[in-house]
Chains A and B, each alone.
Chain A
Amino acid sequence: MQENNKKSRRKFFEIGIKFGLLASIGTVAVAKAFEDEENSGMVELMSTDGHIMQVPASEVHDMVHIKQDGYDPRVGFPDKKFVMVVDLAKCKNALKCQESCNKNHYITGENAWLKVYKMQESEKTAPYFMPTLCQHCDKPPCVKVCPVDATFKRQDGIVLIDNERCIGCRFCMAACPYSTRVFNWNEPDQPEAAHSGTYTPDHTGKPSVKGTVDKCDFCPHKIDMGELPHCVTACPNDVYSFGDIYEDAVTNGSGQTFKLSALLKERSGHRLLEGLGTEPSVYYLPPTERLVEFEEGMENYTEFQSVKKTEE
C-alpha cells in the first residue's frame, strides 16, 4: 500500500492528491500522498462516512481551496478540464458509488443520478455492468436547448444546473441522449443537512428544489478541496478514475494515478454514443479480461430501484 502511494505520488491538483478524510470543521484535510512516516503524533478525524479514526498528525495539512478569488461557479476552475474514466472490466455492481452519490447529494427521489446499467449488446455477447452519470459533454445537447441559461458548461468542462434559474421545462431532459437528468416532481424530502449553507450549483442537491432538474455535477465541491468525486472514492474496485485532461492524468479511488492518453490507448477507451457528436468527458474502458463473474454482480442488481428508501 505504502509502495503504491509512493509510486503514484505526483502533483495532481495544485495542492497534490488530497483524499478521503476531512475534519468535521472542514479546515484540515489529509494528503494521501505523503512521505514523512517518522512523525507519530496522532489526531482524531471523522471520515466522510461518519467514522472516527486516528490519523498521524503529519498527514494533516491545512485545507487549501483551489477556488481562487472571484471564483464563479458558472465559469469554473481556471486551467482545468476534468475527465473521468470508467473501467467496465472492474465493475461488479457493488453500487457503493451510487450509495455514496445518493447520500452526499441528498437524493431522495426514485431515480439516482448515477446508475449502473445491466448491459448486453446482443444475444451472444457478454453481459456487463455499466455505470453512467452525467457525461459532461463538450457539446452538451442539454445546454444548447435550455431557454434560460439554467444549465451551462464551464471552462473546466463541467456541466451544471443552476436550480435557482431553472424553469422546469424539461427540454434538457428530452435532449439528453444519456437519460441522466432527473426532475424533482415533488418537494424533495431531504435531510436538514441539504439545507445548510448558501446554495451554489457547485454542490447539486444541496438543496434540490421542486420543479427543477438535477443531475450529476462531477462534484466541484470535492474538487475544490483537492479531493476526488464521491463515486470515485466510494468504489471498492477502482472502477472510476478522475482527473485533468490538461495534466493527462487520472487518479482512482486507491490513489493510483495513470497517464490518461496511455490508458485510453492501451485499453481501447471509448465514449458513449460517440456517433451523436456530443463529445462526453467520460471515457469507458471495455469489459475485457474481467476478474469478476458477471453473475456475482447480479446479487446487487435491482431493476426497479436506484435510490434506497431511508429506513427510519
Chain B
Amino acid sequence: MTQYDKLIKDLAPQKFGLRGKIWIGFLLVVILAALYAYYQQLNKGLIITGMRDYALWGVYISNFVFFVAISLVGSLVTAILRLSGVKWSTPLTRISEVIAVAAIIMAGLTIIIDMGRPDRIYYIFLHGRLQSPIIWDVLVITTYLLISILLLYYPLLPDFAILKKHFHNKPKLSKWYGKLSLKWSGTKKQTRIYNSSIKTLSVLIIPVAFGIHTVTAWLFATTYRPGWDSTNFGPYFIAGAFVAGAGAVVVIMFVLRKIYHLENYITDLHFDKMGKLLVMLCLVYLYFNVNEYLIPAYKSTNEESAHLVELFFGSYAPLFWTVIIGGLIVPVIALVFPKGRKPVPLFIIALLVVLGAWWKRYIIVTPTLLHPFLPIQGVPESWRHYFPTAFEWTITFGTLASALLIMTLLFRYLPIIPIHETAEERGILEHDKTETL
C-alpha cells in the first residue's frame, strides 16, 4: 500500500460503529424530548418557562449567545491561523468549520425558540427596521452562516473527488461525492480558483465573525441596563467567544482522535499548540473581565453596585466565582505547564472551559434584568428571581444535542482531516497519484 492509499484509508469517512449508533440514539432521544417541550411551549406560551416581566430573557438567550460564541472558532482556526501562515492548524480546520456551521445553525434556531410569536418570524423580513440591533444580528448571522458553509465546502472539493474514487465499489455514495466535488480534477485553473476563493473567504469571514459577536453583544449594550450598558461589551464578547471556541475544538478533536484513531494526524503537538493558544485567549478574556467588573465596582453607582453585589456576594456568587476561577484562572495555571497541555489533561481543562463559557453567558444575561431602575413591586415575589424550569432545560439540552447531531453527521460523511491538504503538505500527492493512476 502506498503512502497515499494509506492516507485515504485513514481519513476517508467511516460507518458508525455500535458506539456511534448509541450516541446518535441518545441525541435523538434528547431532541425528541425537547421537541415535546417546545410543543408544550407553543401551546401554553412562554409561561412554562421561568421567565417573567422582569427576568424577561433567560437561558434561551444565554444559550443563543453561547452558540454564537462557539461559532467564532471557525474564523479563528480556519481564517486567522491560516492567514497568519500557521501550518500546524491544517488538521483542525475542518473540525472547527464543522463546529462553526453547527453552532451558527443552532444559534439561529435558538433565537426562534425564545420568540413569543415564532409564527411571525417572517415579519423580520417583511417589516424589518434597520434601527434594530436584532435586524443587524439577522443580517450578519445569515452572512456568517453562508460564508462558513462555503469555507467548509470549498476545501472539501478535492476531498470529494478523492472520495468519489475511493468509494468506487459503493456506487451510490461515490455518485454523491462525485456530484459534490463539482467535477474537481485538480487542473491548474481549478487550483487557482480554489486557492484564491478560500483565501478571499478567509479574509471575508474575519470581519463578519467579529460582526456577529459584536452585534450579539450590542443586543445587550444598546440598552440602559446596569451590567450591560458597557462600551467594553463587543471586544469582551469576542474575547470570550474565542475562549469558548478554542475549548470546543480541543474537546472535539480529542474525542474524534480517540474514536477514529487519528493519532498520526492530530498529534500531541496539536494539543500543545492549542493549549498555548487557549492560555493566551483566556488571559485576554480575563483582562476584559477585569475591565468589565472592576471599573463599575470602583465607581459603585447604585444601579451597578446592586448588580455587582449580587454577582460577587449574592445568590449568583457561587456560580460567578466558579466560572471565573474554574473556567478561566485554573485553566490558565494548568496550561502554563507542558504537562497540562498533554491530550488528556488538556481535554479535561477544555471541558471545564466550555462548561464555564456556557455558564458565563448565563451570568451575563440573567442577573442584570433583575436590577431595573425602578424597584420591583406589584408582582409576585417569585418574579424577583429566575431559574430555568424543567421545560427550559429540556429545550436547551435539545438545542445542544442538535448541534452535536449536526456535527456527528457531518463528521460521518466528511473527512475529518482534510485529505488533499494533508497530502499536499506531506508532499505525497503528485508522486503517488501518478503511481496509482
**Residues in chain A within 8 A of chain B (CB atoms):** 110-112, 115-119, 132, 141, 144-150, 165-171, 173-175, 177-179, 181-187, 210-213, 272-273, 276, 302-306
Contacts and interface: CB of A to CB of B under 8 A. Distances in A.
Contacts of A178: 373-374
B124 interface: yes
A69 to B, nearest CB: 26
Nearest to B222: A145
B132 A179 contact: no
8 contacts: A111-B52, A165-B123, A165-B127, A174-B57, A184-B116, A186-B44, A213-B116, A303-B378
B127 A185 contact: no
B377 A118 contact: yes
Nearest to A213: B116
Contacts of B128: 147-148
B134 interface: yes
B78 to A, nearest CB: 31
A86 B174 CA distance: 76
B377 A167 contact: no
B123 A167 contact: yes
A276 B369 CA distance: 17
B379 interface: yes
B115 to A, nearest CB: 5
Given A117-B377, A304-B378, A147 B135 contact: yes
Contacts of B44: 186-187
A182 B124 CA distance: 21
B132 A167 contact: no
B224 A302 contact: no
A182 B53 contact: yes
Interface in B118-152: 118, 120-121, 123-124, 126-129, 131-135, 138
Contact of B124 (A144, A147, A170, A302): A147
A213 B376 CA distance: 18
Nearest to A305: B378
A14 B116 CA distance: 40
B116 A147 contact: no
B378 A111 contact: yes
A206 to B, nearest CB: 18
B378 A167 contact: no
Contact of B381 (A119, A166, A304): A304
Q: Give the interface size bracket for B toward A.
A: 35 or more
Contacts of A144: 131-132
Nearest to B375: A117
Contacts of A167: 115-118, 120-121, 123-124
B51 interface: yes
B219 A148 contact: no
Interface string B370-397: 0011111111110100000000000000
A270 to B, nearest CB: 15
A148 B45 contact: no
B223 to A, nearest CB: 5
A134 B216 CA distance: 27
Contact of B47 (A112, A171, A185): A185
Given A145-B132, A147-B132, A186-B47, A170 B378 contact: no
A181 B56 CA distance: 10
Given A141-B224, A183-B116, A304-B378, A174 B129 contact: no
Contacts of A303: 377-378
The 3 A-B residue pairs whose C-beta atoms are closest, nearest first, are A168-B116, A211-B116, A306-B378
A23 B186 CA distance: 85
B225 interface: yes
Nearest to A168: B116
B310 interface: no
A117 B156 CA distance: 62
B379 A110 contact: yes
B272 interface: no
A148 B123 CA distance: 6
Contacts of B57: 170, 174
A306 B203 CA distance: 55
- Determine which residue in A146, A167, A182, A272 has the highest number of CB atoms from chain B within 10 A of its CB, and name it: A167
Contacts of B49: 185
A251 B135 CA distance: 41
- Determine which residue in A165, A175, A185 has the highest number of CB atoms from chain B within 10 A of its CB, and name it: A185
B5 to A, nearest CB: 54
B189 to A, nearest CB: 44
Contacts of B138: 147
A212 B117 contact: yes
